[in-house]
């Protein structure tokens, strides 16, 4: 898990990548009518905006190099992406079919 969180640090340098992930996940969710995936895509887009604000020093006026917030944000983003993937890969249920 530590290596995955370290790999996600590229999003600090390039928040546009997070926006691309958000657009793709939200778009797939919209196309397949999966609200969970749309919500996760929006979450990634919000993170991209937040990270852009941090990068441009709009949200951080002092020392922004120590980012404890990412210890919470990255696991939430990863978990959300896994939940969205499961939601998107799950077959659609027909309401007329008994479960």
18-72: per-residue pLDDT in tens?
A: 999 999 999 999 999 999 999 999 999 999 999 999 988 888 877 777 788 888 9
Domain annotation covers residue 34: yes
* Residues in contact with 75: Cβ distance below 8 Å, sequence separation at least 6, in sequence order: 5
Does 28 reside within a domain? Answer: yes
- Whether pLDDT at 81 is above 60: yes
Q: Does the residue 99 lie in any domain? A: no
CA 47 to chain centre: 7
The per-residue pLDDT for 2 is: 73
The boundaries of the domain holding residue 26 are 8-89
Number of domains within the chain: 1
* Mean pLDDT, range 65-82, rounded to an integer: 91
Q: Which helix (H) or strand (E) element contains residue 88?
A: helix 70-89
Tell me whether residue 2 is in a domain: no
| 98 belongs to a structural domain | no
- Residue 6 in tokens: 């370290």
45 domain residue, yes or no:
yes
pLDDT computed for residue 7 by the predictor: 84
* 94 lies in some domain: no
């Amino acid at each position: 898990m530590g290596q995955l969180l370290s790999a996600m640090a590229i999003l600090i340098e390039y928040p546009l990548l997070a926006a691309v992930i958000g657009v793709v996940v939200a778009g797939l969710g919209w196309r397949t009518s999966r609200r969970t995936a749309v919500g996760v895509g929006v979450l990634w887009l919000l993170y991209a905006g937040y990270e852009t604000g941090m990068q441009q020093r709009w949200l951080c006026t002092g020392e922004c190099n120590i980012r404890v917030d990412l210890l919470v944000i990255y696991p939430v983003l990863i978990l959300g992406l896994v939940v969205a993937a499961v939601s998107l890969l799950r077959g659609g249920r027909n309401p007329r079919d008994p479960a």
